Amino acid sequence: MQLNGHDRHELPNSDLTGQVLAYTSLLPIAILVGFVTLIMFKRELHTISFFGGLVLNEGVNWLLKHILREPRPCEGAHAALTTEYGMPSSHSQFIWFFVVYFFLFLYLRMHQTNNARCVELLWRHILSITLLGVALSVSYSRVYLLYHTWSQVFYGAVAGCIIGIVWFFFTQEVLTPLFPKIAAWPISEFFLVRDTSLIPNILWFEYTVTRSEARNRQRKLGTKLQ
């Protein structure tokens, strides 16, 4: 994936659509920064595995590009890129891996109960539709900005979806059973790496635990002040 800002500099100021899509194509940078931030502050094994899948996905993309060696459209127009190969699109493969994995995580991993409230289901659907729109926008931006052909974007999306599905179920079926042991390693305890695989809704769990702890500390503080 070519993480650069050259897209927007090559567009005339009058091309508002191109300017918007150029910034949209930079979303993978925000995603990577978000992952690094989450790993640093949460140190949760499933998040680390998700990030590892993204790295693997990028490695597969690099390998496919150098096997297929299909040039980009308008070869030479983007000389600043580190590779002239465009099949498959790395942006498309990246964003569709992320979205498909997130879909599966949202609906198969983050389940609380079978009778989830309508509000919980609603925000999942809204988030899913939003992510789908983001994936389509990023993919379209690569064609609009002449970095890729439609076929390069399409096969990038297919590759990202396949790898995302495979990596999710590999994480769920193979890695997740190992997470308790990994979290118990001395090095994991030293770096405060944790496993939350058995907690259905981590957001609700952290909210309730934090609220309970805050109330306990407030009661203790009130007792000392009396």
What separation, in Å, do the N-terminal and C-terminal C-alpha atoms of the chain show? 61
Contacts of 112 by beta carbon, 8 Å cutoff, 6+ apart = 120, 200, 201, 204
Residue 125, both tokens: 């659907």
Per-residue pLDDT of the chain (226 residues; tens, 9 = 90+): 654 544 544 555 566 777 787 778 788 888 888 888 888 888 888 888 899 999 999 999 999 988 888 877 765 445 555 567 778 888 899 999 999 998 888 877 765 444 456 766 777 788 888 889 989 988 888 888 888 888 889 999 999 999 999 999 999 889 888 888 888 888 888 888 888 777 766 667 777 878 887 788 777 776 665 5
CB-based contact 48:197 (threshold 8 Å): no
- Smallest CA-to-CA distance from 95 within 150, 163, 18 is with 163
Bond before 73 cis per omega within 30 degrees: no
Q: Would you list the domain boundaries of the chain?
A: 6-195, 198-226
To which H or E segment does residue 36 belong?
helix 27-42
| Model pTM score | 0.77
Integer CA distances (angstroms), 145 to 55, 78, 106, 158, in order: 25, 10, 32, 20
Angle, CA of 58, 5 and 165, to the nearest 5°: 25
pLDDT of residue 13: 57
| CA 5 from centroid of its chain's CA atoms | 20
Residue 44, SS3 per DSSP: strand
Residue 3, both tokens: 């993480």
Separation of alpha carbons 131 and 98, rounded Å:
9
CB-based contact 46:197 (threshold 8 Å): yes
pLDDT of residue 113: 46
Angle, CA of 20, 22 and 23, to the nearest 5°: 70
* Torsion angle (degrees, nearest 10) of CA 124, 155, 38, 198: 60
Tell the residue number behind the tokens 């190969």, with chain if given: 85
pLDDT of residue 110: 67
Residue 24, both tokens: 């949209």
| CA 216 from centroid of its chain's CA atoms | 36
CB-based contact 140:21 (threshold 8 Å): yes
pLDDT digits (tens, 9 = 90+) for 171-199: 988 988 888 888 888 888 888 888 877 77
